[in-house]
């Protein structure tokens, strides 16, 4: 499995996605649609950033991602 999965590259893709979400422009929407877009962008950034900051181990066929939420 580790021969097929480059975990460092995967985490780099998540960091890249977080940066793109943070920097993406606002589409021409207003009102409730705008609020939903902003809320989704915030959640997308949070999710991608959390995974992108993870450290990992691969033992006995199990990939473990560790995320430090302490600071």
Residue 3: per-residue pLDDT: 62
Contact 21, 43 (CB under 8 A): no
- Number of structural domains the chain divides into: 1
Instruction: Report the predicted TM-score, pTM, of the whole model to 2 decimal places.
Output: 0.78
The answer to the question of residue 15 being in a domain is yes
Asked, for residue 31, whether it belongs to a domain, the answer is: yes
Q: Which domain holds residue 16?
A: 7-66
Answer yes or no: are the C-beta atoms of 15 and 52 closer than 8 Å. yes
* pLDDT exceeds cutoff 80 at 25: yes
Please check whether residue 36 lies inside any domain of the structure: yes
On the question of pLDDT at 29 being above 90, the answer is no
């Amino acid at each position: 499995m580790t021969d097929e999965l480059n975990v460092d590259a995967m985490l780099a893709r998540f960091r890249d996605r977080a940066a793109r979400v943070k920097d993406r422009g606002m589409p021409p929407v207003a009102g409730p649609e705008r609020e939903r877009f902003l809320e989704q962008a915030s959640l997308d950034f949070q999710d991608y950033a959390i995974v992108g900051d993870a450290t990992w181990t691969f033992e006995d066929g199990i990939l473990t991602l560790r995320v430090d939420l302490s600071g």
